[in-house]
Amino acid sequence: MAEVDAVTTAILKGRFEQIADEMDATLFRSAFNPIIAEAHDASHGIYDATTGDTLIQGKSGLPIFVGVMAFAVKAVIEKAAGGDGLHAGDVWIFNDPYDGGTHLSDFRLVKPIFHDNELFCFIASVGHWHDVGGNVPGNYNPAATEAFQEGMLIPPVKLYDRGEFRQDIVDILSANSRLPMSLYGDLNGQINALELGERRIGQLLEEYGVDTATSVLSALKERAAKMMRAQIAALPSGTVSAQDWLDNDGITDEPLKIALDLTIDGDRMVMDFTRSSPACQGPVNISRSTTVAACYVALKHIFGDVPANAGVLEPVEFKIDPASILSVKAPKPVGGYTETILRLIDVVFEAVAQLAPEQAMACAYGTINALSLAGHRADGRRWVMFSFFGGGHGAHGAGDGLNHGNAPISTATIPPLEILEAAYPVCFTQWALRPDSGGAGKYRGGLGAIYEIELLEEAADVFLFGERGKHPPQGVVGGAPGALNRFAYEQDDGEHSPPMVSKMVGIHITRGQRVRLETPGGGGYGDPAARDASAIARDRALGYVTERQTS
């Protein structure tokens, strides 16, 4: 490989990152689905031609996708090797959650990039499609006991074969969606993003050459690994343990343990999850690749200066029981993977707090609260409002947690109520911060939110897939936990709450009736008695806390 100076390395790093960012922007601006267009539930990246390892990730999409996509690219490499190989103009599409995926809603497109007839890299796009079949509109089915109840499962197949578009594949996908026009728009947005990425990489290679570009990408990966080893080596050697709980699996009302034994041995880290619960009947299982990707995201939160690529994981060893909730195979349901990876991130935060309190963060609110309202309009057209909602982030050694943020698995945004009200027959009667929801501490956890939604159409079916209804987000270094999640819905005989607290399917409401989410706050950091008096006074003045919490 060519010798490259520091200035050229910095320039090409910026160019590659800009390509991924521009792919993000292309999809966000063209998708039909508000979950992609407004909430940015999608991501793009550049991946190694031989291993599929992450080389570059976009800064606007979901980091969890970028980590998992490395496994998706490897799946394409293996599938192509067993067939007729890789060719210029190929694009592979799939949503297999057990083979480089997350859950069935997330469709991946993978494109090999050739220059002078030689494979240079892969680029990939992933986005959360609005509806991909299954038993419930929007696909977060809290009562699923196998993947077939969650949606259609597509293994890696060619959407483009040597540049020839395969309409038959799109016909199959469209026939399995309640919202085929939304699918059409999102798919074409992803195709356009990949086409743009291919053009931009081609321009870069024409200008700098393959040898220089390859050397820069290798150097960035080596730098990340070197920095990560240094960060690990600065931690005290030894083993610490942390564990947290999922409320239930939606089928059996029993808690599920996510446990981590974290060992620091010189400049290496071992993340041992073997004490975690075995695979469960309901849809909070995840695949091994998803577990590894979640740890990647957690480590990047803690070691923020390390470049975001596969080098982050080079000094990290994983121990995951293949029979556990964190390493399932088909057809175990995985639709609620977001809830489990959030708990994974929590236990990483809790473990690191024991080793390096100054770098620790308390647990964030820990659930995306996937909520769907669906029905038919007066003219017979189907509508499906699927969205996720925010909560409080954990406090840290430098200050209070963020109020009403999005989950730490992503850099996505919470869909604006104006967009949701314009697209669906609903009215938000409340969208506010939730007082007293942040955990007390020297630094207070961020506040959760209250969302109340009124139905304007004749009738709708509702489902919720949430967490943290029984086990609150934990504080660290003596900080208090945040508030629990709450959900309520109105029916003719009054207000009700789900029997399993955070998960329920088959709720039927009629015009004028409301559903209400009160989301958790983040955990606190440090002894609450050490909080500055002026900060307490400000909390009270802004209504963040009441006399009830501070008395």
Burial 57-87 (b: 16+ CB within 10 A, else e): bbebbbbbbbbbbbbbbbbbbebbeeeeebe
Q: Where are the beta strands (DSSP E) in 221-324?
A: 238-246, 256-265, 268-272, 316-319
Cβ atoms of 337 and 103 within 8 Å: the answer is: yes
Q: How far is CA 150 from CA 97, 164, 194, in A?
A: 11, 31, 27
Residue 27: both structure tokens together: 């999809």
CA 374 centroid distance within chain: 23
Sign of the torsion angle spanned by Cα atoms 268, 479, 294, 241: positive
Cβ atoms of 550 and 535 within 8 Å: the answer is: no
**What's residue 149's pLDDT?**
96
Q: What is the CA radius of gyration of the chain?
A: 23
* Cβ-based burial of 268 (10 A; exposed 0-12, middle 13-18, buried ≥19): middle
* Cβ-based burial of 236 (10 A; exposed 0-12, middle 13-18, buried ≥19): exposed
Please report, for the chain, the start and end positions of each structural domain, with discontinuous segments joined by +: 6-225, 361-551
pLDDT in tens, the chain (551 residues): 678 899 999 999 999 999 999 999 999 999 999 999 988 999 999 999 999 999 998 888 777 887 889 999 999 999 999 999 999 999 999 999 998 889 999 999 999 999 999 999 999 999 999 999 999 998 889 999 999 999 999 999 999 999 999 999 999 999 999 999 999 999 999 999 999 999 999 999 999 999 999 999 999 999 999 999 999 999 999 999 999 999 999 999 999 999 999 999 999 999 999 999 999 999 999 999 999 999 999 998 888 888 889 999 999 999 999 999 999 999 999 999 999 999 999 999 999 999 999 888 999 999 999 999 999 999 999 999 999 999 999 999 999 999 999 988 766 778 899 999 999 999 999 999 999 999 999 999 999 999 999 999 999 999 999 999 999 999 999 999 999 999 999 999 999 999 999 999 999 999 999 999 999 999 999 999 999 999 999 999 999 999 765 54
pTM, rounded to two decimals: 0.94
**What's residue 549's pLDDT?**
59
**What's residue 132's pLDDT?**
96
Backbone angles phi, psi at 418, to 5 degrees: -60, -40
To which residue do tokens 């189907």 refer?
382
**What's residue 59's pLDDT?**
83
Residue 153: both structure tokens together: 């499962």
